[in-house]
Copies of this chain bind each other. A is one copy, B any other.
Amino acid sequence: MDQDAHHAAGQGSLLLQDQLCFALYAASRSVTTRYRPLLEELGLTYPQYLVMLALWEQDSVSVRDLGAALRLESSTLSPLLKRLEAADLIHRERRADDERSVVIRLTRAGADLREKAGTVPVAIGEAMGLTPEQDATAKYLLRLVTENVTGSRP
């Protein structure tokens, strides 16, 4: 399978194909590209899909907590949430006991979308084509990198 993948490279090399960071960058983009046509049927972009995943898991979340879960800044989330609201998938309201906070709630349509989305992770899982062990290893290593690089818990 692999030609010459064993010369101590990767740590100090300037070769593009040796860089873990490039493999990460390319893999991430290729996966979101693979998602695009599936999510188009749901009327979602990939980051919007991740927000919906988070909301299906736990409804009535503040923008702050959503940002923490997704590791996204409010400068990214605010416009994205505005678009989800315009699509009538979520609703935003200021919290009464703390007017700084904005709570995101699923609309009926937003909650209903969950069923249609059920097939998506399966399809992507198949497309990625990793064994369960490889999948677990990949997740472990990616979380480790994220943790090490940001210096925080996931």
Binding site for B on A (CB under 8 A): 2, 5, 8, 10-17, 19-35, 46, 50, 53-54, 56-57, 69-71, 114, 117-118, 121-122, 124-125, 127-130, 132, 134-146, 148-150, 154
Contacts and interface: CB of A to CB of B under 8 A. Distances in A.
A146 B27 contact: yes
Report the copy number of this chain in the oligomer.
2
Contact of A10 (B15, B22, B135): B135
A57 B15 contact: yes
A24 B20 contact: no
A34 B20 CA distance: 14
Given A10-B136, A50-B25, A57-B14, A121 B19 contact: yes
Given A14-B114, A17-B154, A141 B134 contact: yes
B129 A10 contact: no
Contacts of A25: 28, 31-32, 46, 50
Given A26-B71, A28-B28, A20 B128 contact: yes
Given A21-B32, A29-B71, 14 more contacts: A11-B122, A14-B121, A16-B54, A20-B125, A20-B128, A20-B138, A22-B50, A23-B139, A30-B146, A34-B149, A129-B144, A130-B141, A138-B145, A141-B141
Given A24-B24, A30-B149, A138 B135 contact: no
